[in-house]
Structure 1
Amino acid sequence: MKKIASLVILAIMIILAFIIFKFNDGEKTIEKAISSSNPIKIIYEEKADKGSIVFYTTKDWNDFSTCFVRKTFNVYKYIYGGTGDVRVSAKKFGFSYAYYPNIEKTPFPIYFGIIGNPEIKKIKVIEKKRNIEGEAKIINAKDERIWLMYMNKFQGSDFEIIGLSADGKELIRIKDNISPWYAEQKPLK
């Protein structure tokens, strides 16, 4: 009987150790989860169902980065992200844009970018396949204006992104085609 009790206790301890190890795999702060070697400056954090979408820059670089970090048991883990020098295109064309694909256990897919034209007050995304449209969320964050569109209700790969003035006048229209492979891309492990 003592042998069975000892085995049960040992099994419980192994399971607890596994759970603690599995769920403590991460960092204590978002900054450390994103980059442990390069300091970053968070521009904006969008709380999402399964973590946060974080817009940030790397100090001493002129980049704009976006990622998704998951939070479990008070630790953060970097799941997916990317970096680009989008400020030039935002100033030249009025706004920049990027698409992050549908990835399991994230709030993706999303379209997002920086608004460089101060006359642009709204961003609208149109799905060409079914002629469905939606208005992006405009975020005034520090020195940037960011637009963010959750793409869950959209389908297909052909989209138009339109920058509008306060009175609804079209200032810029960009046609984008995301490849079917990219739309279904999975993160690298």
Structure 2
Amino acid sequence: MRKVWIIISLAFIVVLFINFNGLLLPSRSTGNTIEEAIQKSGRNVTRIIHTEEVKDGVVVFYKKSIGNAEESNASGYVKKTLWGWVWAWGGEHSDSASKGFSAQYFPYAEDAPFPLAFGEIKDQQIKQIEVMDNNRTNDKEAKIIGKGKDLMWFSFLDKSEGPNFTIIGLSEEGTTLYSETIHTEGSR
């Protein structure tokens, strides 16, 4: 009977080790810094514009090299673990067509602080961004981050919002400079 309990105990320990291996041992993609974790995920960070603290980590907004001296606008959730930082979720976009601002939407994800709308501010006259769901039930003022040519905006949204929005770029006086309705299914 004692041998049976020893075998059951050992089997239980092996199962626990397998199930919690991700918690007990660091991942190859774990970084000592946020930027290192992003780089290890295969993204080529040119520069970090802003980090926004959220539960269990940060949402980072950055520029990413896409070759030929071009950059994309990127954002993602980097999770803090026992062993360091790990890239969890995010994406990027480059938009040469829009004049005032670009926009991207990340839908709700269970283990990430999304939904999120974000983009680049291309026109320096834009001093405020408003994000409106198409029902106009929950208009939000976006947070503007960065400086100079590295201006970006973002807004955390409610779980029920998206993926269609009207985004308005306003001047310092509150005049609408640009308005764009986006229909997107997000990215990962």
TM score, norm. by length of structure 1: 0.76
- The answer to which of 5-14 and 71-80 deviates more is 5-14
Is 2:147 the partner of 1:144?
no
Tell me the residue number matched to 1:30.
Answer: 34
Kindly state the Cα deviation for residue 114 of structure 1 after the two structures are TM-superposed: 0.8
Asked if 1 retains the 8 angstrom alpha-carbon contact of 2:131 and 2:141, the reply is yes
Identity %: 31
Tell me the residue number matched to 1:116.
Answer: 122
**Count of aligned positions:** 179
Tell me the residue number matched to 2:54.
Answer: 48
Choose which of 130, 134, 156 in structure 1 pairs with 2:140.
134
* Pair 111,49 (structure 1): closer, same or farther in 2 beyond 3 Å: same
Distance in 2 between the 1:124 and 1:16 partners?
A: 48
Tell me the residue number matched to 1:93.
Answer: 99
Equivalent positions of 1:56-95 (< 5 A) are: 56-59=62-65, 61-86=70-95, 88-89=96-97, 92-95=98-101
Query: Structure 1 stretches of 5 or more lacking a match?
Result: none
Query: Structure 2 stretches of 5 or more lacking a match?
Result: none
TM score, norm. by length of structure 2: 0.77
Distance in 1 between the 2:36 and 2:8 partners?
A: 38
Distance in 2 between the 1:16 and 1:153 partners?
A: 34
Secondary structure in structure 2 of the residue aligned to 1:93: coil
Larger fraction in helix: 1
